[in-house]
Amino acid sequence: MKTAQTFLSILALYITSAQGKDEAYGSECADFNNKTWLEYRQQGSKLQVQYLLFTRKDTDCASLFSQESLNRNTDFNSSLPTKIIVHGYRALGSKPSWVRELARALLQAQDANVVVVDWVYGAPSPHNLVVENYKEVAIQISVLINRLQNHGCKLESFHFIGVSLGAHVSGFVGTLFKGQIGRITGLDPAGPMFKGADTYDRLDPSDALFVEAIHTDSDYFGISIPVGHVDFFLNGGMDQPGCARCQNLRMLSVLVYFPVYGYVICDHMRALHVYISALNGTCPLTGISCSSYEDFLEGHCLDCQGVFKGTCPKIGLIQNSGITVNPLPRQEKFFSPDNLNTTFCGECRHNPILILVHLNVSILDKSAEVQVTLRREDFPKRQQKLRATDKNDYRKVMAHPVPLCEIDSIQVKNTGARFYRQGDIHFVSVCISEFPSVREVVPLCVNNIDVRRGSPWNHDFVHLCGDS
């Protein structure tokens, strides 16, 4: 616990420097409370909560919103659904720079009231104190929800989007309303001090009619256990593409080079940016139910049959993430391969492809290593290694920036010769297929090929894409 708090203290220093710089709102627009660390020390960090309202009338300009303002002419429309954004630990008091982007994406996807909970004034206390006091934030939010109910809003019309610690704040609001809140989306719910907590004290499926979570840093700042009806573990829930994979390197980068974003909270914040990309439609992501990420990558989980009746959940605003079974699953893990990009998901397309290899095992003297490469001329190549032992069939899931029908060529290479004596390999077939398959599509296969050591085998695909 002390180690986690030490890292979070260093993180506090970083966030203020790296994320505190945000373009100023216009003079007529409401803004976050944003005091310096010295002002907090002088005036005390007693919790203060205010609310900012965004609507389609002006997606870039917020207005202050309060219980009192409901009695006046405001842009709040009780007949519309209400999205409530809750930020998390704010270190030294810096305002979150991502709020307007998230609000804009929500409003683009759905006409709604978007209410941002600003508890920056009180969130920069030492992390352990913030965690101890976060329920007070939830209580104050619940007072507003009660008032909105009196103005015609229904509990099922509220959708909370909580980032990090904000996910657990949202969960406690749901607890106060006995799980009758419509929906809670946790964006990499905070892990330190919550993984072993009672469900009363953290986000869990009983907090809303539907609870979903996107996990991207479950080995560090995020939580590693399922906390919703549906839990998306992107890239296994940790070590996102383009982010540091060594925790010691993260610490070193903070100490040596302060503003290195990727080495500190890149993984943790990826959930937020993936969610925004899903709302914008630039990076739709589908999850596959599986017991572990390793089994998923090995191709052991290919669809959402069984209890899910073939429907796989999607990140976004679709009802219950697209899950239609009743009752809803609880704490079900869904996996998706990495989204390839070096920064955020919206910068490239995400297309899972299933590679199926059938070998003639009888001619193998020992295990064999092969490498399968998929190419398109104007995109970086993607490679996948397979280690063949005593089986005939092997499967691997690969994410590619283009869909299957746009792949130009496939290369199969006998790579084991670099490590041990490996003879020629006979492939009965090498196939690539859509994953998960949403329609009846015949896999693209090449049959009966021999791959010699040091001599890659290549095959070009011609006119794969057709009118659909």
- 60 tagged catalytic: no
Written as one letter, the residue type at 35 is K
How far apart (Å, rounded) are the C-alpha atoms in residues 105 and 54? 11
- 268 tagged catalytic: yes
Other CB atoms within 10 A of residue 370 CB: 22
CB contact at 8 A, 444 and 452: no
How far apart (Å, rounded) are the C-alpha atoms in residues 454 and 442? 31
From 94, 164, 277, 289, active-site residue: 164
Whose tokens are 């929906």? That residue is 183
CB contact at 8 A, 228 and 215: no
In degrees, rounded to 5, the angle at the alpha carbon of residue 31 between the alpha carbons of residues 275 and 58 is 65
Strand segments, DSSP code E, in 265-367 are: 288-289, 332-336, 351-359
From 127, 215, 268, 273, active-site residue: 268
Whose tokens are 């002002």? That residue is 39
Provide the terminal-to-terminal Cα distance of the chain, rounded to the nearest Å. Answer: 54
- 358 tagged catalytic: no
Of the candidates 272, 266, 239, 3, the residue with the CA atom closest to the CA atom of residue 161: 272
From 188, 204, 231, 267, active-site residue: 188
Written as one letter, the residue type at 7 is F
* Residues tagged active-site: 164, 188, 268
